[in-house]
Every structure is written in structure tokens, then in C-alpha cells.
Structure 1
Amino acid sequence: MKLLVAGSAEVDAGKTTFTTGLIERTGIRGFKPRAGNGYWYDQDDYRRAVEEKRLYGKDARKIAAANGDVRPEAINPIHRLWLPTPGRGKGILGRDGRRFLFDRVTRDSEDTYVINGKTEIPPAAERAFPLAPALSVESLSELNELMAERHAPALDALAEEIETRDGAIVESYADIARPLSAFAPDAVAVVEPRRCRIYDGERYAKACDVASGSAHEGRLEERVESVVGLLDPDDSLTLPALSSEERSDRAVIADAYEEAYDALLAAV
């Protein structure tokens, strides 16, 4: 059984809360192929990263913890650190107000880094991570070439691992419809504040193929709303609001979201 959890809001959609509760409910391993956080907006994560000299975010940490004794990097091979740049226009990736500092790419338990050669790396990060031998890019075309060379094989390796499992829960990132193009889910949950929509996995994958072709963050990816706009959901359910304490307890989440999980599993 392969399940996909995607979000229709770029931030704070509730994907990871939903995913960790689903892991608790099913006992199936969760994966977060791609993730990122901001130097300013996720300062706690950033400080922990430089202290531990390991780059991963709170979403991967929570999913790894729900899995048991699993390193976040093992289920999250690609992590990007962002820097807000208010008033400075668009960077390499064409995003107003922010640009990427560097990516961590993990394959076969080995971390490599790709840095933005046009942005100054914060001193603490420069000291914490082995960035001196990292590959540097200064244009979108250079980044795309390196993503094909470094990122894609790491994601392909994760996809192969997922394929060998009887069950897997894959969480997407931001409002991207699917984080692994080769991943074929049996059912999909699209999560947003207060609502969860359930889709048949095969129809969702076909809609992703139809919606493909929009440039986003250095590669061709489909946004969730572009995909679900082509589909009617199998079900749509209201998610109850949970306190921060409740969101930290996977058993509480599994109980609170029971109706949504029942609908998702019924769609398999």
C-alpha cells in the first residue's frame, strides 16, 4: 500500500501532522523526499543544524521519529536552506524575496552539498558544514545540470527503496503535487487547514501528467491546485483543529483524524 500526502498551501498546510498520525495509524514507514527551511523563518531548525552539523528540518525529524530509530537524512535525501532577501529581486530560482543558500544531497548515507555562488553563506553554516569542496552554481542552467547529476539519482534511489516496500507513506513539500515523479500512489490525501480531500492514486497520477509543464524552483513540477482542479475528490472531510500539544502526540492525531484516515485507506 503506497500513500501520498500533499498540501494545497505552500506553508503550514498540516501535511506533517497528518503524516505522523497516519504512520501511527498504519505502522507504515514515512518518507519526505524533498524539504527545505528558511534561515530567518526557521531559526530554531537552523541553529540545531549548525550545532549538530546536520542539515534537516522539523518535518523530516518528526517523520523519522514516527518511524522509530531512523535518521532524518535516510528518509529525506534533499534539503534546501533558504535565505530571505527582501527588496533584492529574484535570485537564481526566480523567487521574489528569497534565494537558496545551499542544498544537502544524501545518497548511500553520504552527504554532498551544492551552494549558491552568488550568495554569502552565513558564517555559522560555513563553519558547520563541509562547503569548501561543494559544487557552486551561479545560474539556473548550472543548477539544473547539477540537479540532474546529483539530486535526481538520490531521489531515484529513494524511489527504488520505496518501490521494494510493501507499504510507504510519502509526504510532498510546499504545494507540489508529487515529490517523486516515479512514485505511483494507491491513494492520495491533499491536506490544507481544516480540510482533507481524498483521491484515487491512479487518477491523481494521470492528472499530474496532464498538468505538468510549469516551471517551479528550477525544475518542472506540478502544483497541487493545478492537479486537483482536473479531478473530483472521492471524499472531502473536515479536519479538527489541534493544539500544539495535541499535534506532538501521534496517538492523539490518529484518533482525531480517524475519519480522514478511514476514507484514505478505503480509497486504496
Structure 2
Amino acid sequence: MKLLVAGSSEVDAGKTTFTAGLVERTGVRGFKPRAGNGFWYDHDDYRRAVETGRLYGKDAKKLAAASPGEVRPEAINPVHRLWMPVPGGGKGLLGREERAFLVDRITPPAGEDRYVVNGTVNVPEEAERGLPLDEATVVEALPELNDLMARSHGPALDALGERIESREAAIVESYSDIARPLSAFVPDAVAVVEPRRCRVYDGERYAKACDVASGSAHEGRLEERVGHVTDLLDPAASVTLPALAGEERADLGAVASAYGEAYEALLSTV
């Protein structure tokens, strides 16, 4: 059984709460292939990680803690990106308005963490002190970064995809509003989460719609956005999600109970 959780909005869709509750409900390990956090908006999480010489975010940490066994966030999240806001600074190295990439962490299977640093910006002092960036690869232009991503990020993600494929069951959470975080991943069922609603899709049909969307003229992207994919499909089910208080979101048993109807709809689609 392979399940995918995606979100229809870039931020605060509720993917990780939904995924962690699903891990609690099923006892199946969760994976977050790609993730990122911000130096400014997620500063506490950033500080906690780099002060221990590591780089990961709260989403991967939550899924690792929810998953059975002893799981490091880096083991389920091979690619993590740290961002920095750049107010009024125009487009950064990756062409994102008012946001610059600072550091990437790539964790290959059975290997040590590797780091990539944006040489066009100043890396925060805490990251300089806490992370082994003296050995990091420095990039200063987009072609350099693209080439490096093909040689390092891509193989790390491919290796995770093979691990997921070899498992009897896995739950994969996407990032931002990207339709699927691993291009070759064909889930059995998909939950598209947004505030107050979960839509459930047949996994094979969803994967085919991803292939169709990637060949469309929307943006010429290799990564398909959820909205472009769901525009091509009718959901197998649509379930209203209740609002949860902070203490309820922190209690995975409470999440599993509150989202029970959505989980039943998802599992019955497999």
C-alpha cells in the first residue's frame, strides 16, 4: 500500500498534520522526500537543528517521530533547503521573488550529509558555526546549481524512491503545492489536503494526470502543481476536515480520530 498526501496551497494546507495522523492510524512509515524551511519564519526550528550540527525542518521531524521505530528526519527527507527572505531584493538565484536559497542538505542512502551553499548571499552565523560548510559545494549561478542538482539531489531522491518502492507500505508527503515529490512514484491512492477539505483520488489516475499536466503549456515545469492535476480529475471522495486546536494537532491520536472519515475514504480507495 503506497499513499501520497499533497496540498492544494503553497503554505499551511495541513499536509503534515494530516500525514502524521495517517501514520498514527496505519502504523506505516512516513516519508518527506523534499522539504524546506525559512531562516526567518521557522527560526526556532532552524536554530534547534543547526545547534546540533544538522539541518532539517519540523515537518520531517514530526513524521519521523510519528513513524514506527527509531527514525532520523534526514533518513526520510534526503533533500532539505534553507531559505532567507530578501525584502525588496528582487529575484534570487532561483528566480523566487524576495526569497533566497541559503543552504541545501543532501543525504544519500548510507552516506554522510552533503551541503550546497549559495555563494551570492551571506550565510547566517549560526549555520556557519553549526554546519560543516567548509566542505560544502558553493554555487553562484543557476546553471551551476542545476548541474549539481542533477548530480546530487536527483540520485538521492531516486534512491529514496527505490526504497519506497521496495517497501510493502509507505506514506509519502509532498511539499508546497507540488503534485508529487518523486516523478516516478505511482501511489495506490492520493489525498489532496487543503483547509477544511480532503479530496481523495485513485493513485494510478492521479499519476497519469501528472504526466499529462507535465506536458501541458501551463508553465513548462518539470514539477506539476496540484491544481493543474486535479483540474483533470474527478475525486473519488471529498470529505470536510474539522478545524483542530494546537493541542489537538500535537496529539496524533486526536488527529487520527478527528480525520477518521477522510482516512477511511483514502484507505477504501486503495
- AA matched with 1:261: Y
Paired residues for 1:85-100 under 5 Å? 85-100=86-101
**Alignment partner of 2:87: what SS?**
coil
Q: Which residue of 2 aligns with 1:82?
A: 83
* Matched ranges for 1:111-122 at <5 A: 111-122=113-124
> 1:21 and 2:21 equivalent?
yes
Separation in 1 of the partners of 2:223 and 2:80?
A: 17
Aligned to 2:151: 149
> What is the CA-CA distance between 1:215 and the residue it aligns to?
5.8
In 2, are the aligned partners of 1:74 and 1:109 still within 8 Å (CA)? no
Equivalences for residues 205-220 of structure 1 within 5 A: 205-212=207-214, 220=222
Task: Judge conservation of contact 2:40–2:84 (CA < 8 Å) in 1.
Answer: yes
Unmatched 5+ residue regions in structure 1? none
Alignment partner of 2:117: what SS?
A: strand
Whether the 8 Å CA contact 2:53–2:132 is kept in 1: the answer is no
**Aligned equivalents of 2:177, 2:2: Cα separation in 1:** 20
Secondary structure of the residue aligned to 2:101 is: strand
Structure 1: distance between partners of 2:175 and 2:189:
17
2:205 matched residue in structure 1: 203
Partners of 1:73 and 1:231 in 2: how far apart? 34
Say if 1:115 and 1:135, in contact at 8 Å, map to a contact too: yes
The amino acid across from 1:82 in the alignment is W
Alignment of 1:241 onto 2:224: no
| Cα shift readout 1:122-164 (whole Å, capped 9, x = no counterpart) | 1111111111121111122111110110001100110111011
Alpha-carbon distance in structure 1 between the residues aligned to 2:32 and 2:232? 25
Give the structure 1 partner of residue 55 of structure 2.
55
Dislocated runs of 4+, deviation >4 Å = 213-216
Give the Cα separation in 1 of the matches to 2:155 and 2:136: 17
Give yes or no for contact 2:39–2:82 (8 Å, CA) kept in 1.
yes
Task: Identify the residue that residue 33 of structure 1 maps to in structure 2.
Answer: 33
Unaligned regions of 5+ residues in structure 2, if any?
none
Q: What code does the residue aligned with 2:60 have? A: A
Does residue 6 in structure 1 map to residue 3 in structure 2?
no
Distance, in Å, in 2 between the alignment partners of 1:127 and 1:44 is 16
2:54 is paired with a residue whose SS is: coil
CA distance in 2, matches of 1:77, 1:203: 27
CA RMSD of aligned residues (A): 1.2
Report the secondary structure of 1:204's partner residue: helix
Q: 1: distance between equivalents of 2:10 and 2:153?
A: 21
